[in-house]
Amino acid sequence: MMRIWVNGGLRNADDARLSVLDHGLTVGDGIFETVRTSEGRPFALTRHLDRLTRSARGLGLPDPDHDEIRHAVAAVVEANPVPLGRLRITCTGGPSPLGSDRGTDGPSLVVALDGVDRRPDSTAVITVPWTRNERGALVGLKTTSYAENVVALARARERGASEALFPNTADRLCEGTGSNVFVVLDGRIHTPPVASGCLAGITRALTVEWTGAEETDLPMDVLAEADEVFLTSTLRDVQAVHRIDDRALTPEVGPVTAKAMRIFAERADDDLDP
Ligand SMILES: Cc1ncc(COP(=O)(O)O)c(C=O)c1O
């Protein structure tokens, strides 16, 4: 049975509990990180903890204690051996009144790990009409208020796709429900800037650093013209896109994307905490 860290210790999954009055449950007042583990080793944990702190500050939650979380991560990884894992670190507002005011009992911390399969090298995506709000209070924060992503991803699954891409309110290309997007135009790699309202993805930042991709404000309809399109995220690394709505891209993994995948795999193998 999965062993989960909850507020100071490991519990069996069926005994791992938070209050039903936890603000994470009642209003989505929480933040999280998803970290990839390979053979029990977390990838880029320092960057993930730094982003967790930025998200906490954005929501006005207390700064997460990195030493405590590293200790919890080590305990969870040891208790749940899997070849490839999705490690999830969640901090919430803790027990609170029923409305949007946060309680005073202090935050909750949950760390859990589940095994995952390696993603395919390429995938299908759809576009959705709903917008990311580049001027919203939560922009750039990785919060547990993810129900819009639930709706968009369900739409993608209905259409045989694994991701949904959002425009922002100005109809510029933004990001997916849980990934960043890159396009190849005339041999050069571009990705929307953080100002588009996307999450500052860790895989995105490493891909920009390692491939020389440019941050470019892009119209949504660049997806109809791009020579290649790929996604980045913690569990996808770099993943080619072979279909966008009704547009098929051939080959399934284009040459520029294939090179980015290779570079990412090599560099990530060389340094577990870049
Ligand atoms: C909305 C959103 N955009 C992008 C990403 C990709 O970020 P990362 O590469 O840090 O996993 C994620 C997280 O997985 C996300 O939730």
Q: How confident is the model at residue 174 (pLDDT cuts 50, 70, 90)?
A: very high
Residue 187 pLDDT class (50, 70, 90 cuts) = very high
**Segment 78-124, tens digit of pLDDT:** 999 999 999 999 999 999 999 999 999 999 999 999 999 999 999 99
pTM exceeding the 0.85 threshold for the entire prediction:
yes
Q: What is the pLDDT of residue 162?
A: 98
Buried/exposed code over 144-161 (b: 16+ C-beta within 10 A; e: otherwise): bebebeeebbebbeeeeb
SS3 243: strand
The DSSP secondary-structure symbol of 249 reads -
Percentage of residues of the chain with pLDDT beyond 90:
100
**DSSP character for 101?**
S
Residue 94: per-residue pLDDT? 98
Token pair recorded at residue 31: 């933040």
- The whole-angstrom separation of Cα 102 and Cα 96 is 5
CA of 142 to the centre of ligand 1 (A): 8
| Protein residues whose CB sits closer than 6 Å to any atom of ligand 1 | 34, 142, 175, 178-180, 199, 201-204, 232-234
- The mean predicted confidence, pLDDT, of the chain is 98
> What's the confidence (pLDDT) of residue 48?
98
Residue closest via CA to ligand 1's atom 1 equals 178
pLDDT at 180: 98
Nearest CA to 61 among 3, 6, 25, 105?
105
CA 97–ligand 1 middle distance (angstroms): 30
Residue bearing the CA closest to ligand 1, atom 4 = 179
pLDDT of residue 234: 98
* 120 three-class SS: coil
